[in-house]
Structure 1
């Protein structure tokens, strides 16, 4: 009787497991698609900010608008490879709209084989985190800085033709834009703009969300992280936040967004997240922040009239 019961249990598992596997695959595909959608939105906004403001950045280098992903960085790497339907660990995660990568037809879930002469399949899988991806990003950046282009070989689908192209970059302010899971914050670390998947501003219109991204990007462009880390500090946190607020509309204007979206963002964000009477000492009150942003708008209009663009390298007063 026990053997018969065990056999029934085995047959039941054998019958139901394909359906369970299909459900898991569908769930993984949905998870990956949501992350890629957020990455594509952020990457496109970041691309617009970085390329639109390149003439005024201290450091700019060619960029192609391509965001890669290492499937081995996921906890369930095999499942995510299946969800993405890729044959290599390194794949396209997102492509900025109108970028050189987009114009060559690259899109999410294409398998990458070779980058700057390096067969990515020969690189050891990372023990933890994104070490291999950082190495490949470094190779791409070096090639673009050296040659103005990077050679990439990819496959559109597991059984599709292999394509190899030289992708030429366009000037962009340096920096990366990355989504973080399990986070509600937007932050900047001096090199990267980091946006949490649970950041409330993701629900805003593109131009207002772009304002939040521009605020963090401004921190990096203005060198605030290094200034805050210096001993003694070269700027207060409150002053750095005020500068980033005021810089937001300048960056938006050059990226093709309405600079007044920075004001709309603060007016929407502030009442819910600006602290009310319990205001953080690191920031001005949201209404003061809105006033500071509004004061920049006529200065931006005057700069555009004089220069044809919002030249913050000359006209933004620190």
Structure 2
């Protein structure tokens, strides 16, 4: 459910100095403050690998913000995180803060600045993995202002290219689908047992979005920027369905021959069957946005719903690719409610 979170903690300057002292940091040695923060995180990670200080910032009047990043998967040493795990997550965060500051009361006023939701699916067949990313090339280039981009990032934030990744991003929300194994290999990192053959669908809610959701003027949800609020499974499902399903789409993947058989056996009229077949062919040739040029928006949406109703994903498996299967179940599946 949750991968990583980032939050702000209010501290005073004396506590910042204490933090440096506990981690054997002599800040005067460094000309740039960024080097101090980097060294601080390196020291902390030896004992607390799930935690990182991403920045320290002064608010004035001897008050500072600690920018803290927490890898929940690494913290719990498992990939399947649920709402029931929240108490142990909070306890572990408080344990870390106590180790750094002697108490954990800073957590009481924390503000989330980012949260990464995820759905991991195991796809052992490498041809199926390649098919998933091939099909995503045909998906929409833009949805809810999220532009499609193909790249990965290394630890320094530099772009690295590998075939099994794809981003959809804007200033407040990002969606990425990628091979966890390939990401590890690209970064020269160890592949954990729970990452083997995993395709990850990840949704990143950034600070701008969290701030918008906090608003109480009718433009937001009045949702506090607190970890316990975003740890709720109903909210997780709502976000994944709202932001990823319209890109990944529902329905399983077929080559045209099998799709035609399903269409033929459907309850639709002969005329509708022919239109849906043409719709599929057009998408297969030119991408899912292509039919919008010749169809009204209501008709376009209806055709997608028609295909969904008979279990066909609008993106077809290429008929001439013998290395791809004739059928593949859609790996992205999430229930919208209990």
- The TM-score normalised by the length of structure 2 is 0.26
Structure having the larger proportion of residues in strand: 2
Structure having the larger proportion of residues in helix: 1
Q: Which structure has more RCO (C-alpha within 8 Å, separation ≥ 6)?
A: 2
